[in-house]
Amino acid sequence: MKKLLLQLDSSSHPSVFDRVVAFDAGADEVMSYGGVTPETVRDLVHGAIFTRGPKHLNNTAIFIGGSDMAQGERLLSAAKKAFFGPLRVSVMLDSNGSNTTAVAAVAKMRQAIGSLEGRSVVVTAGSGPVGLRAAGLFAKAGAQVTVTSRRAGDGTLSETIRQRFGGSIREVAMADGSGAAAVLEGAEMALNAGPAGVCLIPRAAWVGRTGLRVVADVNAVPPLGVEGLEVMDDGATREGVTTFGALGIGGLKMKVHKACIARLFEKNDLILDAEAIAELADTL
Ligand SMILES: NC(=O)c1ccc[n+]([C@@H]2O[C@H](COP(=O)([O-])OP(=O)(O)OC[C@H]3O[C@@H](n4cnc5c(N)ncnc54)[C@H](OP(=O)(O)O)[C@@H]3O)[C@@H](O)[C@H]2O)c1
């Protein structure tokens, strides 16, 4: 029986990246829908669960993506509501590569420092899909998390993450890289989750900083998000700090993403969101 992946994307054009990875990870066909809203999920999901008998539903699965993390969470919630009894299929949420990228970055940084419990970590531009998930995973693991955003200040960002993951999170407004030195004061780890081609952590903000042990960046597009790192860094030592660049993290991200897609077709009742994806990554 063909392995069918229903791609529900909140953006107007369903992600080509997610579609290619799905084929490479073993899907025989990817049915891609863009501009999906919570209101339109139910009928799309019904098409997926009513067509094959319960015994064969592990051959159908759903992938939720798009550039808006909050909307991705709403689509996931609507998909779960559309299931009933044995009529359900496995679902993965990975808006903008959020979960797989964050899981890979956090796993690498944890490996470099040992336990995350009590560690102080800064996530710059922590309001995007990747930053939100990374901050949440750090907080859930017991780290003291600081997230930055150009719009931070009223507590909405930190509360959103705390509600989903719990833990200790504070938010700080940071307009650009000129504010990074102050934000990194006392940090043991820093992860830049800013957009492509924007440097948010200049060299002077991290080099020679007492206590800073791990610095990572998920932006692969020059200028890099952390000045002085190399995009291929995968546990390099620079200025006494362990560093990870976007492609160093990206290799593990791709492995995790593909493993998740393959896992979707093993059972018909899996929900692969941040925590489940992190667990799966630990087994790789
Ligand atoms: N390495 C990998 O495998 C991999 C995989 C997926 C994604 N990525 C990369 O991961 C990064 C994060 O992705 P994402 O989708 O979460 O990011 P995003 O949503 O594009 O950006 C994250 C945040 O950056 C802030 N921002 C936007 N423009 C800015 C500017 N000019 N100056 C300062 N801050 C700005 C915004 O927050 P505020 O408006 O709140 O300030 C936004 O929420 C990107 O660089 C992406 O390319 C890497």
Q: Please check whether residue 189 is in contact with residue 213, taking contact to mean a CB–CB distance below 8 angstroms.
A: yes
pLDDT tens digit sequence for 57-95: 999 999 999 999 999 999 999 999 999 999 999 999 999
Provide mean pLDDT across the span 228-254: 98
Q: Rounded mean pLDDT of 177-196?
A: 98
Is residue 153 very low, low, confident or very high in pLDDT (cuts 50, 70, 90)?
confident
Residue ranges with strand state E in the chain: 4-9, 29-33, 60-65, 90-93, 120-124, 144-149, 168-173, 189-192, 214-217, 234-238, 241-244, 271-272
Q: Where do the CATH 3.40.50.10280 domains begin and end in the chain?
A: 4-97+252-283
The ligand 1 atom nearest the CA atom of 67: 15
pLDDT at 11 over 90: yes
Which atom belonging to ligand 1 lies closest to the Cα atom of 129? 16
Q: Ligand 1, residues 11, 178, 217, 218: which to mutate, most atoms within 8 A of Cβ?
A: 218
Give me the mean pLDDT over the 246-264 stretch: 98
What is the model's pLDDT at position 152? 82
Q: Is 175 in the pocket of ligand 1 (CB under 6 A)?
A: no
Q: Which CATH number fits domain 101-249: 3.40.190.80, 3.40.50.720, 1.10.3080.10, 3.30.70.920?
A: 3.40.50.720
Q: What is the pLDDT of residue 16?
A: 98
Residue 193 near residue 124, CB atoms below 8 Å: yes
CA-253 nearest atom, ligand 1: 3
Whether residue 250 has its Cβ less than 6 Å from ligand 1: yes
Please determine, for residue 110, whether its predicted confidence score (pLDDT) is greater than 90. Answer: yes
Counting residues of the chain whose pLDDT is more than 70, the rounded percentage is 100
Q: How far is Cα 90 from Cα 5, in angstroms, rounded to an integer?
A: 10
CA of 3 to the centre of ligand 1 (A): 32
Q: What are phi and psi of 280, to 5 degrees?
A: -65, -40
Query: Is the pLDDT confidence value at 26 over 90?
Result: yes
Residue 37 CA to ligand 1 center (angstroms) comes to 23
Spell out a b/e string for 50-68, using b for 16 or more CB atoms within 10 Å of the CB, else e: eebeeeebbebbbbbbbbb
- Could you report the per-residue pLDDT of 42-62, keeping only the tens digit for each? 999 999 999 998 999 999 999
Indicate where the chain has its CATH 3.40.50.720 domain(s): 101-249
Structure confidence at residue 236 (pLDDT) = 98
Nearest CA to ligand 1 atom 31: 198
Asked if pLDDT for residue 189 goes beyond 90, the answer is yes
Identify the pLDDT of residue 40: 98
Are 266 and 58 a contacting pair, CB within 8 Å? yes
- CATH architecture of the domain formed by 4-97+252-283: 3-Layer(aba) Sandwich (3.40)
